[in-house]
């Protein structure tokens, strides 16, 4: 029989929030930060992590977190931060930004990057991670609004990710556009399964074929003198259509009110990110 507390109260609450709302994916609890934390952990490490929790096997749980060489000392800090996050929220009547939000999320990014460097990941897996991990790929309205409450610079985590995987100095400001080689549209290439790491391993002919495949995916005329601008417009239109599907209509009245305030800001950020591509 599993103990009521698994390692600490915060982690136990996170698992409960996630597992008790599996059949209610539109709920605030399922999309709360601690629940997202467990969802990201499951994405990185698989269902064996959930099994370790259900069987109350804390030793195996920590061992699983180390399989991609993520240090045990950092795991202990990560788990402690989850507990501190939970305790802070319990007494946060003024709804102030939680000081442990960034530390937990950055640790999750580091875990994912460790897996990427250790065994490699598919484009689909990376896409799922970025959608969950509070980036411009995130579509869930509660997550988006929560990010704006917690972080002054909503693009921080996405910049952190690309700086780490491209060995850039994370202490300095940089444009996400700097992860793009030449005139290639890396974000558009992503839709056909080509990443920056893939490009660095390709010869010129392979790069040209990947670019051609991208134009075809977005129905852009290869012979048009404005094909690069047309590609940017097609990409932007596709992203805009994705954003339109944000509203769930299930208990999100106050969240959607907040979303109406920040929608313009989100659009501006996407334009800033894309205009250099």
pLDDT digits (tens, 9 = 90+) for 200-230: 566 667 877 888 888 888 888 878 877 777 8
Lowest mean pLDDT among 116-120, 148-152, 195-199, 265-269: 265-269
Burial code of 92-109, b = ≥16 C-beta within 10 A, e = fewer? eeeeeebebbbbbbbbbb
Three-state secondary structure readout of 36-74? HHHHHHHHHHCHHHHHHHHCCCHHHHHHHHCCCCCCHHH
Kindly state the greatest CA–CA separation across the chain.
67
**pTM for the full predicted model:** 0.63
Q: What angle do CA 254, 258, 264 make, to 5 degrees?
A: 150
Cβ neighbour number for residue 239 with a 10 Å cutoff: 17
Q: Please check the confidence at residue 251 and state whether its pLDDT lies above 50.
A: no
pLDDT tens digits, one per residue of 89-99 = 988 777 888 99
């Amino acid at each position: 029989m599993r103990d009521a507390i698994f390692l600490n109260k915060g982690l136990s609450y996170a698992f409960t929030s996630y597992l008790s709302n599996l059949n209610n994916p539109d709920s605030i609890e399922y999309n709360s930060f601690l629940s997202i934390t467990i969802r990201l952990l499951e994405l990185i490490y698989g269902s064996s992590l959930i099994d370790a929790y259900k069987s109350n096997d804390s030793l195996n749980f920590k061992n699983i977190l180390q399989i991609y060489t993520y240090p045990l000392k950092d795991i202990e800090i990560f788990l402690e931060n989850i507990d501190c996050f939970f305790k802070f929220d319990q007494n946060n009547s003024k709804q102030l930004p939680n000081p442990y939000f960034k530390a937990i999320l950055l640790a999750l990014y580091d875990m994912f990057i460790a897996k990427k460097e250790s065994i490699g990941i598919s484009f689909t897996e990376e896409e799922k991670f970025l959608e969950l991990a509070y980036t411009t790929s995130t579509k869930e309205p509660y997550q988006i609004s929560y990010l704006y409450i917690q972080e002054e610079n909503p693009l921080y985590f996405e910049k952190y990710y690309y700086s780490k995987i491209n060995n850039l100095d994370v202490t300095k400001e940089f444009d996400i556009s700097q992860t793009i080689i030449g005139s290639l549209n890396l974000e558009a290439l992503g839709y056909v399964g080509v990443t920056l790491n893939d490009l660095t391993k390709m010869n010129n002919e392979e790069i040209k074929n990947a670019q051609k495949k991208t134009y075809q995916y977005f129905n852009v005329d290869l012979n048009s003198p404005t094909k690069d601008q047309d590609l940017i417009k097609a990409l932007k239109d596709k992203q805009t259509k994705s954003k339109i599907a944000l509203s769930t209509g299930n208990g999100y009245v106050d969240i959607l009110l907040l979303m109406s305030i920040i929608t313009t800001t989100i659009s501006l950020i996407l334009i800033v990110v894309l205009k250099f591509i």
